[in-house]
């Protein structure tokens, strides 16, 4: 009887240990995974000022931003209200961190991240921009995490006439 109880305790302990091991989050092993994990730290509600080198596109209003982790951690949803929400979805595609920006101008820039040496910056370069380009499209996007409550987004936006607009978005977390 003692032996049966000892074996039962051992098996239950082994099962609990194995379950704890299998549910543990794997350590990020690639640049893309590390960048995605950094981007996920931005989940929350933000407000920030947008300044551009084109005064017609600047505003003094604080713009609301919502970032949330979705699909069991496999996607990140970025919704910027300008005034209607513009949605950007980030996800890992094999060994690349990618995004698709669903622009209110009717296009869908598809971008891929490149590794950052500082571990606080994620920089995205354009792959393609299907859809309407009557106004223009995002071609470059840089996210810089200052700290847990502050991040910056720098966006390059070529207009249809060839003019390049640079936007600087300075966000503070809403508590």
pLDDT above 50 for 12: no
| Whether the Cβ atoms of residue 119 and residue 145 lie closer than 8 Å to each other | no
61-91: per-residue pLDDT in tens?
899 999 999 999 999 999 999 877 899 999 9
Strand partners, 41: none
Q: Is residue 112 part of a domain?
A: yes
How far is the C-alpha of 98 from the C-alpha of 89, rounded, in Å? 8
How far is the C-alpha of 99 from the C-alpha of 93, rounded, in Å? 10
Pairing of strands 44-52, 63-70: antiparallel
1-10: per-residue pLDDT in tens?
554 443 344 4
Q: Is residue 21 part of a domain?
A: no
pLDDT at 58: 76
pLDDT at 61: 87
Q: Is residue 66 part of a domain?
A: yes
pLDDT above 60 for 13: no
- Could you tell me the residue range of the domain that residue 169 belongs to? 29-173
90-103: per-residue pLDDT in tens?
999 999 999 999 99
Q: Is residue 20 part of a domain?
A: no
Task: Report in angstroms the alpha-carbon separations of 104 from 79, 132, 173.
Answer: 12, 10, 24
Structural domain count of the chain: 1
Q: Is residue 13 part of a domain?
A: no
Tokens of 148: 């847990």
Tokens of 13: 């302990």
Q: Is residue 18 part of a domain?
A: no
Torsion 69-157-51-123 (CA) sign: positive
Report the pLDDT averaged over residues 137-156: 97
Q: Is residue 17 part of a domain?
A: no
Q: Is residue 96 part of a domain?
A: yes
| CATH label of the domain that carries residue 49 | 2.40.128.20
């Amino acid at each position: 009887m003692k032996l049966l109880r000892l074996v039962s305790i051992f098996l239950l302990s082994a099962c609990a240990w194995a379950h704890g091991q299998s549910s543990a989050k794997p350590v990020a092993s690639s640049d893309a995974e590390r960048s995605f994990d950094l981007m996920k730290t931005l989940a929350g509600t933000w407000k920030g000022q947008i300044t551009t080198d084109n005064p017609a596109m600047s505003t003094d209003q604080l713009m609301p931003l919502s970032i949330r982790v979705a699909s069991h951690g496999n996607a990140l949803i970025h919704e910027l209200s300008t005034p209607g929400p513009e949605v950007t979805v980030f996800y890992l595609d094999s060994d690349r961190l990618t995004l698709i920006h669903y622009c209110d101008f009717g296009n869908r820039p598809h971008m891929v991240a490149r590794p950052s040496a500082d571990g606080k910056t994620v920089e995205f370069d354009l792959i393609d921009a299907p859809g309407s380009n009557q106004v223009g499209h995002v071609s470059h996007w840089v996210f810089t995490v200052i700290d847990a409550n502050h991040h910056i987004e720098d966006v390059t936006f070529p207009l249809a006439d060839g003019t390049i607009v640079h936007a600087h978005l300075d966000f503070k977390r809403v508590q």
